[in-house]
Amino acid sequence: MYQTEKKVDYDRLVAEQGVLVKRIAHHLLARLPESVQLEDLVQSGMIGLFEAAQNYDHTKGASFETYAGIRIRGAMLDEVRKGDWIPRSVHRNSRRIADAIREIEMREGRDAQDQEVAALLEMSLDDYYSLLKDTQGSRLFSFEELMEQGNGDLQDFQVGNSQHSAPHFEVESDQRNHQLAEAIKQLPEREQLVLSLYYDEELNLKEIGAVLGVSESRISQIHTQAAMRLRARMSEW
């Protein structure tokens, strides 16, 4: 019913899929700096939803909900990028941490310990934890890095640009997701647990802290440490 040749009933679309927009907005909001407003994400997500309804082609095989979810997230993240809510210094520090983790793990053949990363960065453990806190709002890979690596056309595919080959990008995405899943399985047990509770069970950091009996700030450190470790191990992507 969302084929491009049919007139879009926007009222019905909002009624049917508006909850999806809000759910995605809340899910993203928990991973973004406090300066990001829920209303801004929802507004940009609704634009993505309307564009999805106009451009959806059922012959491509994906369900409308799946396609719309990609467009909604893409529209929200575009809004975040345009808003420049995350300073470049945060991405630079994220790379520093990831590079240090990768260097230690390649040298030692095991998980890098917090003290080792701090030492390699030539800072105290407390300063290292402060740096982790500062990089908490950073994405696993920044938009700037994706563009530098030549992946800028990925978004064109996601918004329905027919000049790109869908199977090519789907295979690449599947491979990346498989590698990410394998990398998560190799994380230290506590980091795996925090990620599982955060992403699968959708608990917030405070709730995870209550489950594990530690402070919210400690869960934040573990979560960010896991993200940096994944970033180090997924550097080829």
Tens digit of pLDDT for each residue in 50-99? 988 888 887 777 788 888 899 999 898 888 777 655 566 777 888 889 89
Q: Please give the residue that has the higher pLDDT: either 200 or 220.
A: 220
50 and 102 in a single domain? The answer is no
C-alpha span between 172 and 153 (Å, rounded)? 13
In 3D, which of 230, 20, 236, 10 has the Cα closest to residue 112?
Answer: 230
Q: How far apart are the first and last CA of the chain?
A: 37
- For 42, the domain range is 10-83
The domain spanning residue 100 has which CATH number? 1.20.140
Instruction: Identify whether 185 is part of a domain.
Output: yes
Q: Which residues contact 74 (CB under 8 A, 6 or more apart)?
A: 48, 155, 158, 159
135 and 221 in a single domain? The answer is yes
Looking at the chain, the whole-number percentage of residues with pLDDT higher than 90 is 24
pLDDT of residue 191: 92
- The two three-digit tokens of residue 168, written as one number: 């090519």
76 and 95 in a single domain? The answer is no
The domain spanning residue 51 has which CATH number? 1.10.1740.10
151 and 223 in a single domain? The answer is yes
Instruction: Identify whether 226 is part of a domain.
Output: yes
201 and 224 in a single domain? The answer is yes
- The two three-digit tokens of residue 235, written as one number: 């550097």
99 and 72 in a single domain? The answer is no
- Of 31, 64, 83, the position where a domain reaches its end is 83
140 and 163 in a single domain? The answer is yes
149 and 171 in a single domain? The answer is yes
The H or E element containing residue 158 is helix 153-158
In degrees and rounded to multiples of 5, residue 34 shows phi and psi of -65, -20
In 3D, which of 85, 81, 77, 100 has the Cα closest to residue 225?
Answer: 100
- Of 83, 115, 138, the position where a domain reaches its end is 83
Place of tokens 């908490």: 136
pLDDT of residue 166: 42
237, 154 contact by CB (below 8 A): no
- Domain count for the chain: 2
66 and 99 in a single domain? The answer is no
Q: What is the sign, positive or negative, of the torsion defined by CA atoms of 236, 228, 88, 143?
A: positive
92 and 186 in a single domain? The answer is yes
**What residue type is 45 in one-letter code?**
G
Phi-psi region of 183 (alpha: psi -120 to 50; beta: other; left: phi over 0): alpha
Q: pLDDT band at residue 214, thresholds of 50, 70 and 90?
A: very high
C-alpha span between 71 and 148 (Å, rounded)? 22
1-39 pLDDT, tens digit each: 554 445 567 777 778 888 899 999 988 887 676 667 888
Instruction: Identify whether 3 is part of a domain.
Output: no
Instruction: Provide the 8-state DSSP code for 200.
Output: I
How many residues are present in the chain? 237
- Of 35, 60, 83, the position where a domain reaches its end is 83
Instruction: Identify whether 2 is part of a domain.
Output: no
